[in-house]
Amino acid sequence: MLHNIKKLFESKEEEKKELKFNKFQLFLDLVNSYLKREYPNITFDLSLYENNEEEDNLKIQKAMLIHEVIRQFADFKWEKRTQKSVKKDLIWSGYGINSQPNKKIPQDFLRRKELVFFREDGICNRCGNSMDKIQKSSIVLAQDSDENGGYNIENLILLCSSCYNLTQNQDKSFSEIPLRIRDDLYDLI
């Protein structure tokens, strides 16, 4: 009888482990789905976490996964390249003068930003995130003004706020930089 009681408790422990594993696997699938939908330009490697039962505390395991995802997002190698041009009929008078290499932002910069936003269909050049509002986007130069890069449309690159923050704060640790991906993933816990 004592043996049967021990067996009963052992099976309950195994069921608890299986339940924890299933919850983590569900969370992993949810994270994978989110990453593929929101950041299609970045291939995240989460294979280390598949079939992983090491950690007893589920919240710690989820936090470790999120940290790894954010690290991969921050470490993603991206190269600035000049972009495609726009139709000539969309160009306005004074465009050429204000496109010259200069450290000063041109007066018609917002118009240029809008043109770049619609040229890229609101999609971040680095991560592929789709932005619904122009206010959520930022512009960087493919070729900096120090390197003779101007504000012509082909030299302007559209980035989401997270990618912009990463590219402008490369000297900081990614844990110090505000990132939407971090907020979204912690909301899933």
Confidence class for position 47, pLDDT limits 50, 70, 90: confident
Rounded CA gap, 153 and 106, in Å? Answer: 12
CATH architecture, range 88-168:
Orthogonal Bundle (1.10)
Lowest mean pLDDT among 47-56, 66-75, 121-130, 176-185: 47-56
Which segments of the chain does DSSP mark as H helices, in order? Answer: 2-38, 58-75, 95-98, 109-119, 161-168, 180-188
Confidence class for position 84, pLDDT limits 50, 70, 90: confident
For the chain, the farthest-separated pair of C-alpha atoms sits apart, in whole angstroms, at 93
* pLDDT score, position 124: 97
Q: Which two tokens stand for residue 14?
A: 């195994």
Q: Report which DSSP code applies to 82.
A: -
Among 158, 161, 157, smallest CA distance to 81 is for 157
pTM above 0.75, yes or no: yes
* CATH 1.10.30 domain range(s) in the chain: 88-168
Tens digits of residue pLDDT in 92-117: 566 666 667 777 888 888 998 999 99
Which segments of 81-150 does DSSP mark as H helices, in order? Answer: 95-98, 109-119
DSSP-derived 3-state class of residue 105: coil
